[in-house]
Amino acid sequence: MPALKRYTDLPVSSIIATSLGVLTIIAGGGTIFSAISGNLNIAIAAPYAIGFLFGLIIGRGLGKRLSGPRLQQIFSVLTFSVAISLIIKGFNNL
């Protein structure tokens, strides 16, 4: 996301949409591969899919009401929070 902001003149909302689109393609590919190989656990995947849909609906509504810089700040805080939680989870698994 920072690279798109630095090297393009896209508005922040388009940059966020592009980032989320790439994540969707990657996650969709992983889901399809898991389903084809028989390793897809619906009990684990369903809550994530439902959360994704709710997040999409809420994010779309907020995106229309918030300015570009504020939207970027919120996205940055959420992304940083996920990174910290993954780091903590990684250390707990050592």
Please give the chain's pLDDT, 94 residues, in tens.
Answer: 678 778 888 887 788 788 888 888 998 898 899 999 999 899 988 998 899 889 888 878 877 888 778 877 888 899 999 999 999 999 998 7
Q: How many CB atoms lie within 10 A of CB 16?
A: 21
Domain that holds residue 36: 2-92
Running DSSP on this structure, what letter comes out for residue 38? T
Which helix (H) or strand (E) segment is 27 a member of? helix 12-37
Task: Report the Cα 14 to chain-centroid distance in Å.
Answer: 14
pTM of the model: 0.52
- Tell me how far CA of residue 42 lies from CA of 16, 32, 84, in angstroms: 28, 12, 27
Question: Number of structural domains, the chain?
Answer: 1
